[in-house]
Structure 1
Amino acid sequence: MPELTEDTTFRDEDWYGDELVDRHFARCEFFHVDLTEAVTRGAVFTECTFGNVRFNASQHTDSAFTRCTFKRGNFFEAEFTGCKLVGSTFDQCDLRPLTVTGGDWSFVGLAGADLRGVRLTDVRMREVDLTGANLTGATVTGVDLAAAQLHAARLGGADLRGSDLTGLDPLGVERAGAIIDPEQAVLIARALGFEVG
């Protein structure tokens, strides 16, 4: 069984380069904690709050951050592989450049986030809130964006190939130069009222 830590506040701690393997934190609060270059594997964070936490160059594999709140965090060059972030929210975080591969980020709150140039590949992001998010030049390939909120998102130059764009209103986003595949082109043409013959 993973080691469980509950209802604990961590403040001004230096966890630089630490390895958190098979740890479980529930309803914990992290304020001004340095997780730069930290590694998590199989770690679980449930309903935790992260305030002003540095995740710079950290690597997370098969870990879960469910229903967590991230506020003013720094994720410079952070990598998430096969992680579950269902129901978490990001507020005023520096998320560039972030790499997410696989995993489940459904119901995540990223409204207004600056995601220019981030890499999101093969991620489940159902009903994610990307309202007003800036994904200019981002790689968003093979991503399940079913029922995602994309109103006023900026997708200019983004690579969207292989992603589920069924919920995309092409007139409600900035899209100049966005790259899509032929199947997506048919879908978007139909969304605009065209008959594709």
Structure 2
Amino acid sequence: MFQYVEQHYEDADFSYKDWKEAELTRCTFVRCRFIGATLAEVTTTACRFVECDFHGAFLNGSIHTESAFENCSLFEASLFVARFSNCKMTGSDFSKANMDGMTVQEGDWSYTNLKMARLAKQDLRGVRFVEADFTDSDLEKADLRRAVLSRAQLAGAKLKGADLRGAELDGIDFRPVDIRGTVIEAMQAVAFARSYGAKVL
């Protein structure tokens, strides 16, 4: 195990490196490559990753607190039982990532690519997902209470049994979404009606 504190890296290549159980605090990585790297059980605190490539990286059991992953690629990365607490993930791509058992505690996941993500039964309360792409994702029985889903793409998403009470749903087209069994509040029904072209007076 090693510790990095307040380090700054740009265009560095850490591909296939073994950083298991490393502790990173207030570090910044800009356009760095972590392709295939072993980052299992890594702990990051107040770190910032900008346009970094985590293609195929192993982040199983990693813990991230108030860190930022901005416009990063996590294509085919393994995030099994990883934890993100109040992190900023804006613009990052999670295509084909393994997100089983992942924990998300609040934070900003706006503009992320979560197509076909398996997020069933996840506790996603209070998370910002503005304009996130959930196309064909599995959100069955997910807890999305108070989440901000403004203008999110939900075409083909599974929402059966999901709890949307208190969530912000403005600008969503619900026509291609199966909402049977979804829990909503009376006021939210207006957003559903408008997406079907109803004129609510």
TM-score, normalized by length of structure 1? 0.91
Cα distance, 1:66 vs. partner?
0.3
Q: Confirm whether residue 83 of structure 1 aligns to residue 96 of structure 2.
A: no
Alignment of 1:2-151 (within 5 A): 2-151=6-155
Cα distance, 1:100 vs. partner?
1.4
The answer to whether the Cα contact below 8 Å between 1:89 and 1:109 also exists between their aligned partners in 2 is: yes
Q: Which amino acid aligns with 1:106?
A: S
Distance in 1 between residues matched to 2:156 and 2:195, nearest whole Å: 17
Cα distance, 1:195 vs. partner?
7.2
Identity within the alignment, %: 39
Distance in 1 between residues matched to 2:194 and 2:31, nearest whole Å: 45
- How many pairs does the alignment contain? 197
The answer to whether the Cα contact below 8 Å between 1:149 and 1:167 also exists between their aligned partners in 2 is: no
Q: CA RMSD in A?
A: 1.9
In structure 1, list runs of 5 or more residues that go unmatched.
Answer: none
Q: Which amino acid aligns with 1:126?
A: V
In structure 2, list runs of 5 or more residues that go unmatched.
Answer: none
Q: Secondary structure at the match of 2:182?
A: coil
The answer to whether the Cα contact below 8 Å between 2:120 and 2:141 also exists between their aligned partners in 1 is: yes
Q: Secondary structure at the match of 1:30?
A: coil
Q: Secondary structure at the match of 1:187?
A: helix
Q: Which amino acid aligns with 1:128?
A: A
Cα distance, 1:168 vs. partner?
2.9
Comparing both structures, which one devotes a greater share of its residues to strand?
1
Q: Confirm whether residue 170 of structure 1 aligns to residue 139 of structure 2.
A: no
TM-score, normalized by length of structure 2? 0.89
